[in-house]
Structure 1
Amino acid sequence: MAKSALDKDLKKVGSLEEATLALSRSIAAPGLALVFLIAVFLFMMGLAPAGPLSLFVIAGGVIAGYMALNIGANDVANNMGPAVGSRALPLGAALVIAAICEAAGAILAGGDVVTTISRNIIVPHTEFPVRDFVMLMMASFLAAAIWIHLATFLNAPVSTTHSIVGGVLGAGIAAAGLSIVNWTTMGAIAASWVISPVMGGVIAAALLGFIKWRVLFREDRLAAAQTWVPVMIGLMAGVFAMYLSLKGLSKVWKPSMETVWLLGIGAFILGTLGTRPLIRRRTPQLENRRKHVASLFTIPLIFAAALLSFAHGANDVANAVGPLAAIVAAAESNHAATGNVALPLWVLLIGAMGISLGLALFGPRLIRTVGAKITKMDAPRAYCVALAAAITVLVASALGLPVSSTHIAIGGIFGVGFLREMLANLGLNADGAKKAPKPKASEPSSLSSTPEDAIRKQAKRERRRLVRRRHVITIAAAWVVTVPAAGLLAGLFYWLMKIVAGS
């Protein structure tokens, strides 16, 4: 009896310890985020310029830190999710690589200047009061951050750029009415809701189809891999050389288009010729199986994910701290910052640290959703998504089309998923061979049915859905709602700030 009572007491203590540990883990991430925001507050206290707008600058710094945390939690998952879902990278290693590359991109290659008011979404008149401008930027900034936070909680990857666009749009309309909006730019942004995911999905599916038919569906996969895997790696090298020169290194280098093309062609040739002997040395160690051949894409995938994170940090740090730079510039000059404003190093540091910390604290959940819950990933599929993201941005830039990196990456995941689904429903197995449907032995035969009818019914029953439809609906709905939701929040925050400010 005593032993039984002791066992029960020990179990209770063990359960209590487990509950305490789970509770401490659940509050650790918000606690660290709060510590970061307090540190930003204290930092801004010492840097805020003296004057009537100093409190707005301090508040803007805290909002910038909060925005950076949410960008890290939501946006970075698009780059690392496929690599983690394919098991090319464990989650911990992906978080470390992404944090380093995001911070390096933001600090080393983040832009010297940023276009205020989110790419001329609104055009305020010259007499627009500077305090109203500052409150407009704060309201739009805070609304975008809260919306991204909510989307992350709902496991929905959304565009941070579109969130800010919606916030600026809503606050601008609240401040000065519909006439302040640049509707031409808004129309182009609305078009990108369709352009971005469709382009990303089509290109990713085309790349995966090429790999399947030229390598994975071949009888001698190893020989095919020796021919085509170096070409695919060379293509990645060329595309990312162009991508980084155009999008990721704007602060340190601004080459001409001729130079960009020469750089891409040179990187393609070097990448192809340089990796061909490496692939030839490795293939004799592999079996002529799909899984073994697919492993050849693992290392290129890791490099692709790291380069995407670097370019994302260089480009999207402006989304985190651009409005803060505009607020600081307005406070120092006492004029609404309607042109380009400088991005000081300390502003970039707030963005870089916030993005990295947000990724580490809150990113894993969305990384798992992007990498595994939409469709199953392996190294070739994830590689195609990463390469498609870079190609789509380059093509869209050349055509002058506005696209979202978030929408492109998610569209690429859907693209490879729907291609897999289509091939499965056509009856093709992993080797690309046609498999005949097997009638179920337990199914009663019908005298009026022909063998062809039975095959069709069996094929219909075996139709597979390899893309989870509920994620399609959730993500698409979040994309459509992003601009109006952020806009409504921003308009509300602007009016509240006006009331609190007593004007």
Structure 2
Amino acid sequence: MSRQFREIHTLDKDLERISAAERAGVQSLRALTRTGIAVLFVAVMVVVAAGMAARGGTAALGNHVGVATVAAGMALAIYFALTIGANDVSNSLSPAVGSGAIGLRAGLALVAVAEIAGAVLAGDRVSATLSLRIVNSAQLLADGQAAPAMLAALLAAAIWMNLATWAGAPVSTTHSIVGGIAGAGVAVYGLSAVNWGGVAVIALGWIASPVAAALVAAGLLALVRERIGMAADRAAAARRWLPAMVAALTALAAGMLIGGPLGQGKAVSLVLMLAIGAAVRVAALAHLNRRIAAAALIGAEPRQRDLFAVPLVLAAVLMAFAHGANDASNVTAPLGLILAAAGQAGGAPAGSALQPIATLAAGGGLALGGLLFGRRLVVMVGSRITRLNPVRAFCVSLGTSAVVIGASWLGLPVSTTHVAVGGVFGVGFYREWEDRRRKRDRKALPVEETRRRTLVRRAHVRRILFAWAITLPASASLAALFGTMMR
């Protein structure tokens, strides 16, 4: 090898090292940039809220909440919202991204818009439940205890979520904040301050919603397999059923808006719901036809990925809307009471002007958390879901969306993660039942082999149930401790 060639080879290696270092620097800067954007959002919202509170005269002493309390509440609430958005975006988007129905960036942007829309347009009912049906918020506001109590609730929920994440326990932000609000109320006024009937109704919703999702998802899987999977012409069957399923759920979501913030009469609401559902069905059918035609051009049968691409994307958008409508209340309820206390101290106009800030903080935090920090979880969960089946992913997504939208319509705060887990379990149990029915005449397998072939791991079910049971008392105990200290 000549000296000149060796020098060129050495130069190439040095340049490769420099390029590798530059790429590593770019990757590290991306993580730093995302964190910086989140911190900037928190800082801007804190400055805006504190500035409005200061102009309203909330810095008085005594029982009045100060500007520092408003700033602390806003910072904690947005951190909580960012955490919720980053962890829960996979529930909405992973099936669609994992199946190749939509790209990661486009999917994150679409889901972010749907999250904000759900929080702004349909989040008031669940927020009212958390604000009014757990503790006596009017008494807290009258005694000047609302701000410290809700700060304790937010702090306890955030700490418990971090501890659970570190321990790998599948806990819920909704369970955490409900426990935090109840524990803070107990710290201020004792056990009599908590509306145990309201807490019982909420807890009943926590039990019923995963069961409902399991039943809906299993029913959808049975319907899809019978009407589409076993059809002689699967493409024609998909045209008939899939757009209709998504359109029906879209009409349900539209009904929640039309009957709520848009305030239409029953007849007008029904007409608008049907019109919106019909429009979604036409759009979904047109796009589905293009997918099927593209497969026919190369002389191939349409794959499941072709048939379920559009329904999965629409289900992801509906799921994100439902998530924004339900889980935004975890932020708006305690933050709204803190800002209401600020309004009492500074006057009613200041309080009413501060309330939209809570909605903006919740919706923006959910959307930004998913955009900035949710991509890795979406890719990881999405790859696992696609290896299962896009059909089952569609049934889980649509079943979860239906249950969360229905709960939001009723004003019940539920855990979207646990509802999604319920849908997965429902599909798994249905497949076990179907497998046993098909192999009824086959020779019985040994116990060890039967356990190995079990589709739903019972130990995982028990672990999740234990996490559900411990979250409420744990977050309530932390909130009671912090509430006592703040008093």
TM above 0.5, one fold?
yes
Question: In structure 1, how many angstroms separate the alpha carbons of the residues matched to 2:89 and 2:279?
Answer: 29
Report what 2:148 is aligned to.
135
1:35 equivalent in alignment to 2:40: yes
Higher mean alpha-carbon deviation, 372-381 vs 352-361, is at 372-381
Question: In structure 1, how many angstroms separate the alpha carbons of the residues matched to 2:420 and 2:263?
Answer: 25
Q: TM-score, normalised by structure 1?
A: 0.77
Question: Residues 182-193 of structure 1: matches in 2 within 5 Å?
Answer: 182-193=195-206
Query: Of 95, 117, 120, which aligns to 2:108?
Result: 95
Q: CA deviation at 1:302?
A: 0.7
Question: In structure 2, how many angstroms separate the alpha carbons of the residues matched to 1:39 and 1:398?
Answer: 32
Query: Of 437, 457, 471, which aligns to 1:482?
Result: 471
Query: Of 370, 384, 396, which aligns to 2:395?
Result: 384
Question: In structure 2, how many angstroms separate the alpha carbons of the residues matched to 1:126 and 1:308?
Answer: 36
Give the partner amino acid of 1:482.
Answer: T
Query: CA-to-partner distance for each residue in 1:421-453, whole Å, 9 max, x for gaps?
Result: 55456668xxxxx9x9xxxxxxxxxxxxxxx76
1:241 equivalent in alignment to 2:262: no
Query: Of 395, 406, 409, which aligns to 2:420?
Result: 409
Question: Residues 92-241 of structure 1: matches in 2 within 5 Å?
Answer: 92-107=105-120, 111=124, 114-115=127-128, 118-123=131-136, 126=139, 130-151=143-164, 158-218=171-231, 220=232, 223-227=233-237, 229-241=239-251
Change in CA separation of 1:127 and 1:374 when aligned onto 2, cut-off 3 Å: closer
Report what 1:44 is aligned to.
49
Question: In structure 2, how many angstroms separate the alpha carbons of the residues matched to 1:59 and 1:163?
Answer: 19
Query: CA-to-partner distance for each residue in 1:379-438, whole Å, 9 max, x for gaps?
Result: 32222223212433466578897744333222112222333455456668xxxxx9x9xx
Question: Residues 328-347 of structure 1: matches in 2 within 5 Å?
Answer: 328-334=339-345, 344-347=355-358
Confirm or deny: 8 A CA contact 1:68 1:321 kept in the other structure: no
Structure 1 unpaired stretches of 5+: 429-433, 437-451, 499-503
Q: CA deviation at 1:361?
A: 2.5
Length, aligned pairs only: 470
Secondary structure in 2 aligned to 1:76? helix
Give the partner amino acid of 1:349.
Answer: L
Q: TM-score, normalised by structure 2?
A: 0.79
Q: CA deviation at 1:133?
A: 2.0
Report what 1:253 is aligned to.
262
Higher mean alpha-carbon deviation, 162-171 vs 139-148, is at 139-148
Report what 1:60 is aligned to.
73
Question: In structure 1, how many angstroms separate the alpha carbons of the residues matched to 2:141 and 2:292?
Answer: 66
Q: CA deviation at 1:94?
A: 2.0
Question: In structure 1, how many angstroms separate the alpha carbons of the residues matched to 2:385 and 2:287?
Answer: 33
Confirm or deny: 8 A CA contact 2:91 2:417 kept in the other structure: yes
1:77 equivalent in alignment to 2:90: yes
Question: In structure 2, how many angstroms separate the alpha carbons of the residues matched to 1:213 and 1:396?
Answer: 29
Confirm or deny: 8 A CA contact 1:202 1:412 kept in the other structure: yes
Q: CA deviation at 1:251?
A: 6.1
Structure 1 vs Structure 2 CA RMSD: 4.3
Query: CA-to-partner distance for each residue in 1:288-333, whole Å, 9 max, x for gaps?
Result: 9887145212112212211332343344333323322221221221
Confirm or deny: 8 A CA contact 1:170 1:491 kept in the other structure: yes
Report what 2:375 is aligned to.
364
Task: Write 1 or 2 for the structure with the bigger share of helix.
Answer: 2
Q: CA deviation at 1:205?
A: 1.0
Higher mean alpha-carbon deviation, 197-206 vs 84-93, is at 84-93
Change in CA separation of 1:373 and 1:272 when aligned onto 2, cut-off 3 Å: closer
Query: CA-to-partner distance for each residue in 1:256-298, whole Å, 9 max, x for gaps?
Result: 5555555555555666677667756764654798871452121
Higher mean alpha-carbon deviation, 395-404 vs 145-154, is at 395-404
Give the partner amino acid of 1:330.
Answer: A
Query: Of 324, 335, 352, which aligns to 1:324?
Result: 335
Question: In structure 2, how many angstroms separate the alpha carbons of the residues matched to 1:225 and 1:156?
Answer: 42
Report what 1:496 is aligned to.
485
Higher mean alpha-carbon deviation, 62-71 vs 205-214, is at 62-71
Question: In structure 1, how many angstroms separate the alpha carbons of the residues matched to 2:368 and 2:83?
Answer: 9
Change in CA separation of 1:261 and 1:88 when aligned onto 2, cut-off 3 Å: same
Higher mean alpha-carbon deviation, 285-294 vs 343-352, is at 285-294
Q: Give me the identity figure in percent.
A: 38
Structure 2 unpaired stretches of 5+: none
Confirm or deny: 8 A CA contact 1:73 1:152 kept in the other structure: no
Give the partner amino acid of 2:484.
Answer: W
Higher mean alpha-carbon deviation, 61-70 vs 289-298, is at 289-298
Confirm or deny: 8 A CA contact 1:69 1:358 kept in the other structure: yes
Question: In structure 1, how many angstroms separate the alpha carbons of the residues matched to 2:45 and 2:129?
Answer: 22
